[in-house]
Chain A
Amino acid sequence: QKEVEQDPGPLSVPEGAIVSLNCTYSNSAFQYFMWYRQYSRKGPELLMYTYSSGNKEDGRFTAQVDKSSKYISLFIRDSQPSDSATYLCAMKGQGAQKLVFGQGTRLTINP
């Protein structure tokens, strides 16, 4: 079993829809949770960074962490075609340097 599980999709939704992307994990030592966005033929770039449980909002993006369920989510409101990309969750433990990435979910927003 992988440490981090993420549905690879693909996921296709109409413009303006609310998108929910999710990851589950098995290692209870994970404390830091990230979402990276990767456009086609580009490297991943950090989108959201959260510590421990709770919510974090940045514009149209909301990251949620539920450590009791070992479940993290990324919500995108009012989705735009420019949001079309692969979204990778990543996480690490306290003091750790290595990030463990999910498989990535390929998202397409249709105009």
Chain B
Amino acid sequence: DAGVIQSPRHEVTEMGQEVTLRCKPISGHNSLFWYRQTMMRGLELLIYFNNNVPIDDSGMPEDRFSAKMPNASFSTLKIQPSEPRDSAVYFCASGRARNTGELFFGEGSRLTVL
């Protein structure tokens, strides 16, 4: 079975550029979560969706961040414009809404903003 698939695995960009991170959840999972991980702050929840609908985006740091889930098999996290402080590993995770203690994480997208 394919797990959660994220792309790109690594992204290096310059400040001010637009960054788009992509995620394909596990088939049959109806919840999708975007996390950001840094050494200083650990794993932080940015936003999550149930059945493609955003439920809680209170973790999105500011208006430069946006996320969409146009269908059950695809989600994007966009940062525009990017800043050096956005440098982190961004994880997508999926699960079943009734049991979101068990999340399945992708391998992450490592973002470096110069």
Contacts and interface: CB of A to CB of B under 8 A. Distances in A.
Q: Which of B43, B93, B102, B107 has the most CB of A within 10 A?
A: B43
B103 A99 contact: yes
Given A92-B100, A97-B50, A97-B55, A102 B42 contact: yes
Interface string B46-66: 001010000110000000000
Contacts of A103: 42
Q: How large is the interface on B (under 10, 10 to 19, 20 to 34, 35 or more residues)?
A: 20 to 34
B43 A44 contact: yes
A97 B100 contact: yes
B101 interface: yes
A99 B100 contact: yes
Contacts of A32: 101
A34 interface: yes
B4 interface: yes
B3 to A, nearest CB: 9
Nearest to B102: A46
A70 B31 CA distance: 28
Residue among A43, A45, A90, A102 facing the most chain B CB atoms (10 A cut-off): A43
Interface string B78-114: 0000000000000101000100111111111000000
B19 interface: no
Given A97-B56, A98-B56, A99-B100, 12 more contacts: A41-B107, A42-B107, A43-B4, A43-B106, A43-B108, A45-B104, A88-B43, A92-B101, A97-B48, A97-B50, A98-B45, A104-B42
Interface of A: 32, 34, 41-46, 49, 88, 90, 92, 97-99, 101-104
28 contacts: A32-B101, A34-B102, A41-B107, A41-B108, A43-B4, A43-B91, A43-B105, A43-B108, A44-B43, A44-B91, A44-B103, A45-B104, A46-B102, A46-B103, A88-B42, A90-B101, A92-B100, A92-B101, A97-B48, A97-B50, A98-B48, A99-B45, A99-B100, A99-B101, A99-B103, A102-B42, A103-B42, A104-B42
Interface of B: 4, 31, 42-43, 45, 48, 50, 55-56, 91, 93, 97, 100-108
